[in-house]
Amino acid sequence: MNYITCTRSACCRHFSGTAAVSQTAARVVIAGAGLLGNSVAYHLTQNGWNNVIMLDQRTIGSGTSDFGSGTIGLFKPSPERNIILESVKLYERLQRAGHNVGLKRCGSLNLAQTHDRVVALKRRIAYNMPAGLYCELIDAETVRNLHPLLNVDGIQGAVYVPKDCIADPALVLDVLAKLSKQAGVKYFENCRVEFVNTKGGRVESLETDIGTIKCEYFINCTGMWSRELGLRCKRPVRIPAYPAQHFFAVTAGLNLPEAKLLPCVRDYDSNMYARQLGSEMMVGWFEKAAKPAFENIKDIPKNWKEHIEDSAPNHWEPLWDKAVDRIPLLQNSGAPTITNSPDNFTPDGRWIFGETAEVKNYYVACGMNGNPLQGSGGVGKALAEWIVNGTPTIEMLPFNIQRFLDLHNNRQYLQHRIREVVGRQYAILYPNQSEYKFARQLRCSPLYSELETRGAVFGTKMAYERALYFDSDYERGSPLPTMPPGSFYKPKFFKHMQKEYYACAHHVGIIDISSFSKIEIKPGVRSGDSDRNSVLEYLQKMCANDVDIEIGHIVHTGMLNERGGYENDCMLIRQSRDHYFMISPSSQQTRIYDWMSRNLFADASVKLNDVTSMYTVINVVGPKATQLMNELSNSNLKLQPFIYKKLNVGYASDVMIMTFTHTGMPGYCLYVPSEYALHVYNRLMTIGRDYGARDVGTLTQRYLRIDKFIPFWGDELTSLTTPFEAGVVYSVRLDVSTVCVLSVF
């Protein structure tokens, strides 16, 4: 079989000279003239923003945008589908306006070879049909009728999506670039951004290899160079995306009729897709064991095509054999060409876009995970509206760049993680049973090793290892338990969770929830007004509830945006007159710290400290929790709900004890300075034997709070959900004059 690297040549796209930047200032500068960059530029001009400069280190479209499959699939989870639908609408408008973008409705067949895959497809039908996407579960015979070239042996079912389509990435890119230029966007090719200058925490100017450009907004759309460009900033910006080798093949000599296109095929269980490409077939793969690109090169080269590593035949030949098994006609292809086209993948397999936490007005759009065309139109529209309006117009939470920490931007971490991420694009993701295997054991509680020896099976949240459940059959010294194969039915670990649930309901459950984010809100620079309480004033502005509570008390509150949607759901503990301690969900560690920082008073009278790693959090849940804690602390802990105290627990001093458990069950949350954590935990388990104490995982805690109808950020609460819709009106005080809602930045 013939093997080549990427050799497609771009169309004629040279719009400018390269001797020097003739324009030294612009409202917006975009780096990266690929599909995403040109989509953002086009949508900015559609919103009346024409003072835009586009830069590319080589030429327009010289990155990897041209090399996608050209398939556009709407049969996705809701957040992705909504954005892909905007892409389809854009390409349809362009085609109707007389611009050939190669858009053709051919439909798609999503195949299932196993019963579990059929269930997974049915679940996806269940949330796509109500949203208006017609999709139909069909049998193998109907599959054969729709696509006569397919071998349907082993097919247990499929989903037919008639509205799925294809387009030509190169043509789309050319049209968007042409229309953007006509609307006033200035293009400068062979212009590399060397450094991003900031002032006062926001973008000020760019240093390029052919001049300096001042700008108000900077948008990094540089694809697989995004991460490296993010580091070239006065305050480095984290953009966790890294390219993986990505393979597709184009046949030769099949001479398929072009009058009626065959549907696109996604054979998830063979990790392959196939589509008709003119009179030939294109076949591509999302293999389970992918390879990072440019692994042994310090920086990703701009002449990347010259540095593509030849992949060993033993990597792609098994993939090709599976494709031939599904489409036997492929074996008649004369010397099909295998192309290695690296594409950017992210640590969680979701796109990245939005404003960075580190620098204001620094926006990012990258990490399209193997199909840039599919999301580019919608992402460009969403990002342009975000910039113009100052707030997202659709739900961005799954894609927001602020879902990451610094550790996610580590190159070695990314190279290991993306080996697995590529294949997960086609994997069955069982609920609560689909943890990553690579790049683990990075953030660990001080209790991690002890919990491991007690049979804990771990999952991660924000890279933090959390015990999901405890294997009650495990005996010390035996091989450590692992997550069993996934299931859509009763999981094999259900009996262990039953025992944990029983302990919380009748005895005592001990849960390590150290991954929750923790922020201290304290006075900053003292103002001349000694009577002013800036911290209280700030929090009253930020919170929907009245936070002017007594010292030692706790209040549950949301922080809302201008639409009344949740930006945060948190507990605030008042430790002194002007000192509060805030507890938020684990996933909020970066996002809410940035959002609160952007709303601080200009006089620096309030400061925030992220103290997440300073405390180990032990949840003591159950009707016998008070008896256990009384004995352990030698105190009377019959406290009213939502009260906080500092006590000695065992030999440990200054343990913060709070009378809530995040479950709706009686008990206490212990915020233990991390150096004391193991001692406190061991004392709890030793004394707790008399009270039926048992280790409990976060899965059981989740179901406990669902039992009590307690909504949680990221699940039931989002930036588009109001307290009234979530049924938590009790956490809103409309009679507090200082309460207000703030814009999303």
> Could you tell me the residue ranges of all domains in the chain?
9-65+170-241+347-408, 100-168+245-344, 448-503
Nearest CA among 224, 193, 239 for reference residue 410: 239
Determine contact, residues 43/381, Cβ cutoff 8 Å.
yes
Strands (DSSP E) along 446-515, which ranges?
456-461, 464-470, 508-512
For every residue of 661-713, DSSP letters joined together read: -SSSSSEEEEEEEGGGHHHHHHHHHHHHGGGTEEE--HHHHHHHHHHTT---B
pLDDT at 317: 86
Query: What is the mean pLDDT of the segment spanning 299-306?
Result: 90
Burial code (b: 16+ CB inside 10 Å, e: under 16) for 661-700 equals bbbebbbbbbbbeeebbbebbebbbebbeebbbbbbbbbb
**Cα–Cα distance list, 266 to 150, 273, 275, 277, 309 (Å):** 12, 4, 9, 15, 27
Band of pLDDT at residue 740, cut at 50, 70 and 90: very low
* Structure token pair of residue 714: 């990221």
| Residue 463 in this model has a pLDDT that exceeds 60 | yes
SS3 115: helix
Range name among 314-323, 456-465, 596-605, 677-686 with the lowest pLDDT average: 314-323
Kind and range of the H or E element at 276? strand 272-277
Nearest CA among 629, 738, 671, 649 for reference residue 512: 671
d(CA 340, CA 60): 21
pLDDT at 371: 93
pTM of the model: 0.94
| Residue range 537-578, pLDDT digits in tens | 999 999 999 999 999 999 999 999 988 999 999 999 999 999
d(CA 519, CA 615): 11
CB under 8 Å to 446, separation ≥6 — which residues?
A: 514, 616, 674, 675, 677, 678
d(CA 421, CA 370): 11
| Residue 102 in this model has a pLDDT that exceeds 80 | yes
Residue the block writes with tokens 């309460």: 739
For every residue of 69-89, DSSP letters joined together read: --EE---S-HHHHHHHHHHHH
Helix runs in 303-461, H state only: 313-326, 372-389, 411-424, 448-453
**Cα–Cα distance list, 311 to 9, 215, 445 (Å):** 22, 42, 40
Q: How many CB atoms lie within 10 A of CB 182?
A: 9
pLDDT at 14: 55
SS3 193: strand
Band of pLDDT at residue 402, cut at 50, 70 and 90: very high
pLDDT at 547: 97
Band of pLDDT at residue 20, cut at 50, 70 and 90: low
Query: What is the mean pLDDT of the segment spanning 635-653?
Result: 90
52 has which bridge partners? Answer: 28
| Residue range 329-339, pLDDT digits in tens | 999 988 888 88
Residue the block writes with tokens 């920086």: 299
Q: How many CB atoms lie within 10 A of CB 389?
A: 12
pLDDT at 736: 66
For the chain, percent of residues with pLDDT exceeding 70: 95
Query: What is the mean pLDDT of the segment spanning 631-636?
Result: 88
Ramachandran assignment for 278, one of left (phi > 0), alpha (psi -120 to 50 degrees), beta (any other): left
Query: What is the mean pLDDT of the segment spanning 192-221?
Result: 97
The domain covering 9-65+170-241+347-408 belongs, at the CATH homologous superfamily level, to: FAD/NAD(P)-binding domain (3.50.50.60)
| Residue range 482-520, pLDDT digits in tens | 999 999 999 999 999 999 999 999 999 999 999 999 999
Kind and range of the H or E element at 4? strand 2-5
Kind and range of the H or E element at 366? strand 362-366
Long-range contact pairs involving 196-200 (C-beta distance under 8 Å, separation at least 24): 196/229, 196/232, 196/233, 196/234, 196/237, 196/359, 196/362, 197/234, 198/233, 198/234, 198/235, 198/359, 198/362
pLDDT at 37: 98
Determine contact, residues 333/1, Cβ cutoff 8 Å.
no
Nearest CA among 248, 246, 256 for reference residue 282: 248
CB under 8 Å to 671, separation ≥6 — which residues?
A: 518, 615, 616, 617, 655, 656, 657, 658
For every residue of 601-663, DSSP letters joined together read: -TT--EEEEE-GGGEEEEEEESTTHHHHHHHHHTS---PPSSBEEEEEETTEEEEEEES--SS
Determine contact, residues 608/600, Cβ cutoff 8 Å.
yes
d(CA 324, CA 565): 50
pLDDT at 714: 86
CB under 8 Å to 289, separation ≥6 — which residues?
A: 419, 423
Please tell us whether the domain made up of 100-168+245-344 is placed in CATH 3.40.630.30.
no
Strands (DSSP E) along 191-271, which ranges?
193-199, 202-208, 211-220, 242-244, 247-250, 264-267
Ramachandran assignment for 604, one of left (phi > 0), alpha (psi -120 to 50 degrees), beta (any other): left
* Structure token pair of residue 505: 């309901």
Query: What is the mean pLDDT of the segment spanning 415-437?
Result: 96
Determine contact, residues 414/242, Cβ cutoff 8 Å.
yes
d(CA 516, CA 659): 16
d(CA 494, CA 621): 20
SS3 141: helix
pLDDT at 741: 43
Band of pLDDT at residue 16, cut at 50, 70 and 90: low
The DSSP 8-state label assigned to residue 412 in this structure reads: H
Dihedral sign for Cα atoms in the order 485, 486, 491, 496: positive
d(CA 39, CA 358): 24
Band of pLDDT at residue 737, cut at 50, 70 and 90: low
| Residue 313 in this model has a pLDDT that exceeds 80 | no
d(CA 492, CA 469): 11
**Average pLDDT over the chain, rounded to an integer:** 93
pLDDT at 739: 44
CB under 8 Å to 597, separation ≥6 — which residues?
A: 608
**Cα–Cα distance list, 605 to 203, 386, 523, 559 (Å):** 24, 29, 6, 20
Dihedral sign for Cα atoms in the order 51, 595, 379, 437: positive
Band of pLDDT at residue 10, cut at 50, 70 and 90: very low
Query: What is the mean pLDDT of the segment spanning 18-25?
Result: 68
* Structure token pair of residue 84: 């892909």
**Cα–Cα distance list, 548 to 18, 573, 593, 731 (Å):** 60, 11, 21, 13
